[in-house]
Amino acid sequence: MFIKKSLNFLFIISIVFFINNNVHCAEDTAGSSFDNETNGESLEHKGSLMITTDPLDAKVYVNNELKAEKSPVELRNIPSDTYLIKIEKDGYVTVIKKAVVIENNTIQKNISLIPEKTWPFYKYDNNRTSNIPINKNIKPPFKLKFKVSCGTEIRSSPVVDRGIIYIGSNDKYFYAIEIETGKIKWKFKAENNFLGTAAVLDNVVYVGDESGFLYALSCVDGKVIWNFFTEEAISSAPVIHRTSLYISCFDSTLYSLDAQTGGLRWKYKTSGKMWGAPCIFDMGVLVGTINNDMYALREDDGSILWRFTGEGGITSTPAANDNFIFVGAQNNSVYALDVKNGNIKWSYRTSGGINSSPAIDSTNIYIGSDDNNLYSLTQNRGELKWAVSTLGNITSAPVVGGGYVYFGSWDKNLYAVEAASGGVIWNYSTDGAILSSPVLISNYLIFASTDGNVYIMEK
Please report whether residue 6 resides in a domain.
no
Determine contact, residues 231/251, Cβ cutoff 8 Å: yes
Band of pLDDT at residue 110, cut at 50, 70 and 90: low
Q: Are strands 173-178 and 404-408 parallel, antiparallel or unpaired?
A: unpaired
Q: What is the mean pLDDT of the chain?
A: 88
Are residues 104 and 214 located together in one domain of the fold?
A: no
Give this prediction's pTM: 0.85
Instruction: Residue 178: count other Cβ atoms within 10 Å of its Cβ.
Output: 15
Per the structure, the complete domain to which residue 155 belongs is given by 118-458
Of 79, 112, 145, which residue constitutes the final position of a domain? 112
| 351 and 243, same domain (yes or no) | yes
User: For 116-160, how does the pLDDT look when each residue is reduced to its tens digit (9 = 90+)?
Assistant: 778 999 999 999 999 988 777 789 999 999 999 999 999 999 999
pLDDT at 440: 93
Least confident among 92-101, 107-116, 273-282, 299-308: 107-116
Asked if pLDDT for residue 255 goes beyond 90, the answer is yes
Longest dimension (CA), the chain: 73
Asked if residue 184 and residue 166 are part of one domain, the reply reads: yes
Determine the pLDDT at residue 356.
Answer: 97
390 and 407 assigned to the same domain:
yes
> Which amino acid appears at position 218 of this protein?
S
Binned at pLDDT 50, 70 and 90, residue 353 comes out as very high
pLDDT at 13: 38
Return the half-sphere exposure (C-beta side, CA atoms, 13 A cut-off) of residue 293.
Answer: 16
Q: Which amino acid is at 156?
A: S
Pick from 456, 450, 458: which is nearest to 184 by CA? 456
Asked if residue 378 is part of any domain, the answer here is yes
Judged by average pLDDT, the poorest of 136-145, 259-268, 318-327 is: 136-145
Residue 105, pLDDT score:
63
Q: Which of 112, 137, 154 is the last residue of a domain?
A: 112
Give the per-residue pLDDT at 136: 73
Is residue 357 within 8 A of residue 343, CB to CB? The reply is no
Instruction: For the beta carbon of residue 189, count every other beta carbon within 10 angstroms.
Output: 9
Q: Are residues 196 and 83 in the same domain?
A: no
Other CB atoms within a 10 A radius of the CB of residue 265 amount to 17
In tens, the pLDDT along 357-413 reads 999 999 999 999 999 999 999 999 999 999 999 999 999 999 999 999 999 999 999
Please report the pLDDT score of residue 35 as a whole number: 58
Number of domains in the chain: 2
Q: Encode burial over 376-406: b for 16+ CB neighbours within 10 A, e otherwise.
A: bbebeebeebbebebeebbbbbbbbbbebbb
Among the listed residues 199, 200, 178, 174, the one whose alpha carbon sits nearest the alpha carbon of residue 189: 174
